[in-house]
Structure 1
Amino acid sequence: MTLFTPLALRLSAAAAAATVLAGCSMGGMFGGGNATQTQTLQNATPTPAAVAAAQTNALPAIATQCPPIRVRPGSEAMFYYGSGKTGDARALQYQGVIDETTRNCVVSNGLITVNMGVTGRVLLGPQGNQSSVNAPIRFAVERDGQAVYSEKYTVAVPVVAPARSAEFVQVVDNVAIPYLGGEDIVIWVGFDTRN
């Protein structure tokens, strides 16, 4: 017959709690997107006053989960047609699609520091003969309905003949988000083809 001492039970409970908390601090979430979200984050820039106000009251906190990363509705794919024939499948030169998204987080001194990434593909269409395609990818972070980060990245994607498609990866490191505890934080990603 095995007897558990109070000390052994406390050590087992502490180890289980540490495992659960470690699992909550990082991870990946794929795709999705909330159709009710707006597209206002495309060119959003937080004001210095808004960032300062968010940081003023920031205290060290333990995040219970890493903010979700979602593909912004309507930005899952991009299409480029030749000769102004938008929508004509025979005139398609190339298209891009987002395949997967991921992120991980570290919480320290009242900040959630996020590393986020996206993978996707560029595929040449019937009229495509490009050897390289630029994929315009935007990452944005929304905290309680306010943009605290928004940046567009142009990813050069080489398409080496005879292949008609190529994959791309874009990773953004060390984006710091003020965190008090309980805020609604969402990471958005998607194609941004506006000039």
Structure 2
Amino acid sequence: MHDGLMMRTLGAAGTVRLGIALAVAGTLLSGCGGGSMFGASTDSSPSIGSRFSELFGSKSQAVGEKAPPTVDNELSCPSVSIRAGASTFAVAAPGKEPVGNDLRFQATITRTARDCKVSDGQITARIGIIGRVIAGPAGNPPTVEIPLRVAVVQGGVQEKTITTKVYRTTVAMNEEGSVPFSLVAEDVVYPVPPGATGDSYIFYIGFDPQALTPEPKPKAARKKK
């Protein structure tokens, strides 16, 4: 859901609450270019930035930012892109649509990273994802389960999926209703592509709500005879 549309559809109280949280998230994201997030970070969860720094060093990028340049031993490591239509994860109260006052929370991806190692004809990649969960007007659940799909895709007129897997992470919410999260997929393995084929490979990431077990629908009240 586009942030502008979401803000217009929220009720007055929900707009103020979500607007403050989005402003905080935007401030955090604005300090992410160039790796400052991983040093003396302004992120409210320093452990997230520290782990990314240990795993990826400077090989990370904010969403919408150009990927860091590759070096010779990274030429087989595709860039990370968010799959169209999978950049946000909005959840509503049971039986409702995730708009207006029925929105319970929304998750977004703010930063990505990747590295690759080649061994015995296989590429083993690590894909890092940082994001944020913001509570909506319909309540601030104590925990939120985030489903993320990581896929290796050969781009072109007809895309070809090389491998794909769903990962889940559980986020403990706070009273402010704005919490960062991170996930590192460390077991993405696929064959080394032949020749220059690897130049068309992409690491696609995105939220995959279909991977979650749907919440049971509320039972209809029995009619009195």
Class of the TM-score when normalised by the shorter of the 2 chains: 0.5 to 0.7
TM-score, normalising length from structure 2?
0.56
**Structure 2: unaligned runs, 5 residues or longer:** 1-57, 65-72, 212-225
1:152 pairs, out of 163, 166, 182, with 166
CA deviation string 1:79-127 (max 9, x = no partner): 1122534253122111111111110112233322211111111111011
1:177, distance to aligned residue in structure 2 (A):
2.1
What is the distance in 2 between the residues matched to 1:111 and 1:129?
43
**Structure 1: unaligned runs, 5 residues or longer:** 1-25, 33-61
* SS at structure 2 position matched to 1:86: coil
* SS at structure 2 position matched to 1:130: coil
CA deviation string 1:117-174 (max 9, x = no partner): 11111111011130100111111111363322211112100002x2211111110114
* SS at structure 2 position matched to 1:75: coil
| Partner residue, 1:181 | 195
What is the distance in 1 between the residues matched to 2:92 and 2:189?
38
| Partner residue, 2:88 | 77
| Partner residue, 2:148 | 137
TM-score, normalising length from structure 1?
0.64
What is the distance in 1 between the residues matched to 2:101 and 2:187?
42
What is the distance in 1 between the residues matched to 2:99 and 2:120?
53
Structure 2 contact 110–131 (Cα < 8 Å) conserved:
yes
Question: How many positions carry a matched residue from both structures?
Answer: 142
Structure 1 letter corresponding to 2:59: G
Structure number with greater Rg is 1
* SS at structure 1 position matched to 2:101: helix
Structure 1 contact 63–107 (Cα < 8 Å) conserved:
no
What is the distance in 1 between the residues matched to 2:169 and 2:77?
26
Going from structure 1 to structure 2, the CA distance change for 1:30 and 1:108 (only over 3 Å counts) comes to farther
Structure 2 contact 74–116 (Cα < 8 Å) conserved:
no
What is the distance in 1 between the residues matched to 2:104 and 2:120?
49
Across the aligned residues of Structure 1 and Structure 2, the Cα RMSD in angstroms comes to 2.5
Structure 2 letter corresponding to 1:123: I
Going from structure 1 to structure 2, the CA distance change for 1:87 and 1:173 (only over 3 Å counts) comes to closer
Structure 2 letter corresponding to 1:168: F
Q: How does 1:1-195 map to 2 (within 5 A)?
A: 27-31=59-63, 64-143=75-154, 145-160=159-174, 162-179=175-192, 180-183=194-197, 184-195=200-211
What is the distance in 2 between the residues matched to 1:110 and 1:97?
35
Considering Cα pairs closer than 8 Å and 6+ residues apart, tell me whether 1 or 2 has the greater RCO: 1
Give runs of ≥4 in structure 1 deviating > 6 Å. Answer: none
Q: Which has the higher strand share?
A: 1
